[in-house]
Amino acid sequence: MSKSISTRILSFLFSFLLLGALAFAQDNTQQGDGATDGTAQTGGATGGLSTDAAVISKGEELFNANCKQCHAVQTKVVGPALAKVYDRREIPWLINFIKYPQRTIESGDEYAVALYKQYNQYMPNHDFLKDDEVVAILSWVKKETDSPTKTKDVTTTTEDGQNLPKESNSGLLVAIVAGLATLLIVVLAVLAMLGSVLTKYLAKEKALSEADKVILNQKIEWGKILTSRGFVGIVTFVFIALVLKVATESLITIGVQQGYAPDQPIPFSHKLHAGQYEIDCKFCHNTVEKSKHASIPGPYVCMNCHNAIKTTSPYMQQIFEYVEKDEPIKWVRVHNLPDLAYFNHAQHVKVAGLDCTNCHGNIKEMEVVQQVSLLTMGWCIDCHRKTEVNAKGNAYYDNILEVHSKYSKQPMKVENIGGLECSKCHY
């Protein structure tokens, strides 16, 4: 027997409503992706900077990948706070400076020299960025200056460290979906009313054929609606699509722990020790220039000072216990590359002369140590592509440098000495 027409219509409408509801739920988890939904402000340029949501979100991405370890918008980190930097300097100047800071400083540019005197550190070249990418970063900086996203400070703990949800600009989409859903419900109600009126009217009619009576007496079969092929098909499709989406998203971020900042057994503060009291990193991490790993200090290192300082603090009692038991303090590891990757501190700190801040951010400001960098393969490679080898005063590089300068006018980057070879980083 064929399904009644109302069953078909209802199953169709229900599927549609379900889709609408799912789209609505999806949309809420996807805030910020709505750059193309028409609510984005159009790219009216203010001094060469863009207010286009797509550009700004690109800028944020680039900032997080290249600048975040040293800069924040509202606060000074390793480099200056970037708020209103576009008012301090012209955009073309900024583009040039961001791409070639060292060259700008060495050219004697007054502003740049003054900055350098104040911060006493070069920022790395960003010559791999295109001009419009720098503009995108600055556009994001402007947006953050004018209306800061409420994120916690870099130096404080962020629980999961993922980029916090961006402001919703998908209001329009939500409104459309909600509107459609309401419309559907109204249509459903009207249809139901029409149906019952017609049924009542027909029921009074005497001259009905048998076939008509069967149709007339049919009840809406909810079971059939839910088991109808169309409905089941659509539900299955939506379910599979959702599972795939969640799976790919979580696979991409597996093992990426940017922002990880676990609580430690003793609340040791780098801000206090390395910042306020200016204790040298190497005093505690004393193998960082000599070996692959930077050592984590045991309780005896703490005792150098704490046998006299703050001895009554309950935390010191904890440290004394470790000393008595002759056990290391059970610090929770923050940075951790997978075993398949080889990373050597001595090579980066001693040979390359890199400052800890390049990879660890401004530890001196951290109450709780946080993983600031991505620590992905792309992150390592990225730096090897853009960083010059520190060959000055290193006789080991004299020959390579000579050969390199024969074939290339570009400065010798880490990639030129094999920094992109798989076997250098993989056992």
- State which of positions 158-197 bind ligand HEC (CB under 6 A): none
55, 73, 126, 322: which one binds ligand HEC (CB under 6 A): 126
Helix (H) / strand (E) containing 114 = helix 110-119
Task: Give the nearest distance from C-beta 396 to ligand HEC in angstroms.
Answer: 8
Residue 177 vs 404, nearer CB to ligand HEC: 404
Tokens encoding 254: 């597996």
Partnered with residue 413 across adjacent β-strands are 388
Tokens encoding 336: 């951790």
Task: Give the nearest distance from C-beta 322 to ligand HEC in angstroms.
Answer: 9
Using rule CB under 6 A, residue 136 touches ligand HEC: no
Task: Give the nearest distance from C-beta 191 to ligand HEC in angstroms.
Answer: 53
Stretch that binds ligand HEC, among 49-57, 71-79, 146-154, 234-242 (CB under 6 A): 71-79
Residues in contact with ligand HEC, total (CB under 6 A)? 101
- Under 8 Å between Cβ of 90 and 98: no
Using rule CB under 6 A, residue 55 touches ligand HEC: no
Using rule CB under 6 A, residue 91 touches ligand HEC: no
Task: Give the nearest distance from C-beta 19 to ligand HEC in angstroms.
Answer: 34
Identity of the amino acid at 358: N
16, 24, 93, 315: which one binds ligand HEC (CB under 6 A): 315
Stretch that binds ligand HEC, among 42-50, 65-73, 156-164, 401-409 (CB under 6 A): 65-73
Residue 7's φ and ψ, nearest 5 degrees, are -60, -45
72, 383, 401, 412: which one binds ligand HEC (CB under 6 A): 383
Residue 40 vs 425, nearer CB to ligand HEC: 425
Using rule CB under 6 A, residue 76 touches ligand HEC: no
Using rule CB under 6 A, residue 224 touches ligand HEC: no
3-state SS, residue 399: helix
Task: Give the nearest distance from C-beta 367 to ligand HEC in angstroms.
Answer: 9
Task: Give the nearest distance from C-beta 74 to ligand HEC in angstroms.
Answer: 13
Encoded one letter per residue, x for contact with ligand HEC by CB under 6 A and - for no contact, window 270-299 reads x-xxx--x-x-x-xxx--x----xx-xx--
- Under 8 Å between Cβ of 264 and 332: yes
Using rule CB under 6 A, residue 306 touches ligand HEC: yes
| Helices 299-306 and 314-325, packing angle to 10 deg | 130
Distances (CA, A) of 75 to 185, 287, 360, 362: 51, 32, 17, 12
Residue 40 vs 366, nearer CB to ligand HEC: 366
Cα torsion for 253, 256, 369, 124, to the nearest 10°? -110
Question: Which of positions 385-404 make contact with ligand HEC (CB under 6 A)?
Answer: 387, 389-390
Task: Give the nearest distance from C-beta 154 to ligand HEC in angstroms.
Answer: 13
DSSP 8-state assignment for residue 350: I
Computed from CA positions of residues 118, 119, 120, 123, in that sequence, does the dihedral angle turn out positive or negative? negative
- Under 8 Å between Cβ of 73 and 141: yes
Distances (CA, A) of 242 to 12, 25, 101, 254: 21, 11, 46, 18
Using rule CB under 6 A, residue 12 touches ligand HEC: no
Residues ≥6 apart with Cβ < 8 Å to 169: 31, 32, 34, 35, 37, 39, 40, 53
Using rule CB under 6 A, residue 99 touches ligand HEC: no
Using rule CB under 6 A, residue 369 touches ligand HEC: yes
* Interior angle at CA 411, CA 408 and CA 413, nearest 5: 105
Using rule CB under 6 A, residue 358 touches ligand HEC: yes
Computed from CA positions of residues 356, 357, 360, 362, in that sequence, does the dihedral angle turn out positive or negative? positive
Using rule CB under 6 A, residue 101 touches ligand HEC: yes
142, 143, 345, 404: which one binds ligand HEC (CB under 6 A): 345
49, 83, 95, 98: which one binds ligand HEC (CB under 6 A): 98
91, 377, 400, 411: which one binds ligand HEC (CB under 6 A): 377
- Collect contacts of 177-182 with beta carbons under 8 A, ≥24 apart: 177/20, 177/23, 177/24, 177/27, 178/24, 180/20, 181/17, 181/20, 181/21, 181/24
70, 73, 401, 412: which one binds ligand HEC (CB under 6 A): 70
Using rule CB under 6 A, residue 199 touches ligand HEC: no
Residue 6 vs 69, nearer CB to ligand HEC: 69
- Under 8 Å between Cβ of 305 and 279: no
